[in-house]
């Protein structure tokens, strides 16, 4: 609870002082403290971490210590996008919902490893190849008019076709359709 300023002089770091005053009895107990952007700052998070209090909260981008790589309005633009930077146990991230949301939080790396090991029982994680929509749904379709085959053109041949890729909107003969979309490793080339 805020009880007013302590001195008659203008106070700098009021939010940090309030958090310190409210969390002094939690020191050394590894508790988590959640706060909004008025109280949170990188310096406060690091200071509280040394005292055994973990912090998490939204953050303003103009705070001292906020990473330059996460400043600005164009860091993330589309809904669901995110960008994160880590320094030691402190993670700063920006994600976009209806507007950009900036958060900072701390974690104990030993706890993360322990939780993952417990969850999986020490077994390896399975590898799933998750190709995004960019690399799927390429179907050969009949075009309304003849077009030059893009695959043959790459090889220096001139060939026209009535078949093309529905997603790429280009002309491709059946012989060139698969090689055009796959490189030598079998990975999508689009």
Question: Do the domain assignments include residue 186?
Answer: no
Residues 67 and 155 placed together within one structural domain of the fold = no
Residues 93 and 146 placed together within one structural domain of the fold = no
The stretch 148-172 carries a mean pLDDT of 90
Question: Do the domain assignments include residue 8?
Answer: no
The whole-number pLDDT of residue 163 equals 92
Residues 160 and 104 placed together within one structural domain of the fold = no
For tokens 């002094």, the residue is 24
Residues 86 and 32 placed together within one structural domain of the fold = yes
Residues 20 and 114 placed together within one structural domain of the fold = yes
Distance CA 111, CA 109 (A): 5
- The structural domain count of the chain equals 2
Question: Do the domain assignments include residue 103?
Answer: yes
Residues 21 and 65 placed together within one structural domain of the fold = yes
Q: Show the 3-state SS of 76-90.
A: CCCCCCEEEEEECCE
Question: Do the domain assignments include residue 86?
Answer: yes
Beta strands in the chain (DSSP E): 31-35, 53-58, 82-87, 90-96, 100-106, 140-148, 160-165, 170-171
Identify the domain containing residue 155 by its residue range: 137-181
Taking phi over 0 as left and psi of -120 to 50 as alpha, with beta for the rest, 80 belongs to left
Residues 109 and 65 placed together within one structural domain of the fold = yes
Predicted confidence (pLDDT) at residue 184 exceeds the cutoff of 90: no
Residues 96 and 165 placed together within one structural domain of the fold = no
For tokens 């055994």, the residue is 52
Of the chain, the percentage scoring pLDDT greater than 70 comes to 74
Predicted confidence (pLDDT) at residue 90 exceeds the cutoff of 70: yes
Q: Tens digit of pLDDT for each residue in 163-178?
A: 998 888 899 998 988 8
Q: Show the 3-state SS of 119-159.
A: HHCCCCCCCCCCCCHHHCCCCEEEEEEEEECHHHHHCCCCC
Distance CA 40, CA 59 (A): 6
Q: Tens digit of pLDDT for each residue in 102-138?
A: 888 776 656 555 655 665 566 666 655 555 555 567 8
- For residues 10 and 5, the model is more confident at 5
* Sheet with strand 82-87: strands edge to edge: 31-35, 53-58, 100-106, 90-96, 82-87
Tokens representing 110 are 């030993």
Distance CA 57, CA 60 (A): 10
Residues 113 and 19 placed together within one structural domain of the fold = yes
Question: End of a domain among 120, 153, 171?
Answer: 120
Question: Do the domain assignments include residue 4?
Answer: no
Question: Do the domain assignments include residue 187?
Answer: no
Question: Do the domain assignments include residue 36?
Answer: yes
Residues 19 and 67 placed together within one structural domain of the fold = yes
Per-residue exposure over 123-146, b if at least 16 CB sit within 10 Å of its own CB, e if not: eeeeeeeeeeeeeeebeeeebeee
The stretch 36-61 carries a mean pLDDT of 86
Residues 26 and 107 placed together within one structural domain of the fold = yes
Question: Do the domain assignments include residue 28?
Answer: yes
């Amino acid at each position: 609870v805020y009880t007013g300023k302590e001195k008659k002089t203008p106070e700098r770091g009021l939010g940090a002082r309030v958090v310190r005053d409210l969390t002094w009895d939690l020191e050394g107990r590894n508790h988590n403290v959640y706060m909004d952007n008025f109280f949170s700052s990188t310096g406060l998070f690091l200071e509280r971490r040394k005292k055994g209090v973990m912090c998490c909260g939204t953050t303003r981008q103009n705070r001292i210590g906020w990473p330059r790589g996460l400043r600005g309005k164009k860091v993330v633009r589309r809904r669901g996008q995110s960008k994160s930077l880590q320094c030691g146990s402190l993670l700063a991230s920006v994600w976009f919902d209806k507007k950009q949301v900036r958060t900072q939080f701390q974690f104990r790396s030993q706890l993360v490893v322990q939780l993952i090991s417990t969850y999986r029982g020490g077994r390896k994680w399975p590898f799933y190849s998750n190709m995004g929509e960019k690399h799927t749904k390429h179907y050969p379709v009949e075009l309304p008019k003849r077009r030059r085959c893009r695959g043959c053109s790459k090889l220096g041949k001139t060939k026209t076709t009535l078949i093309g890729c529905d997603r790429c909107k280009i002309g491709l003969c059946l012989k060139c359709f698969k090689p055009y979309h796959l490189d030598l490793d079998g990975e999508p080339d689009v």
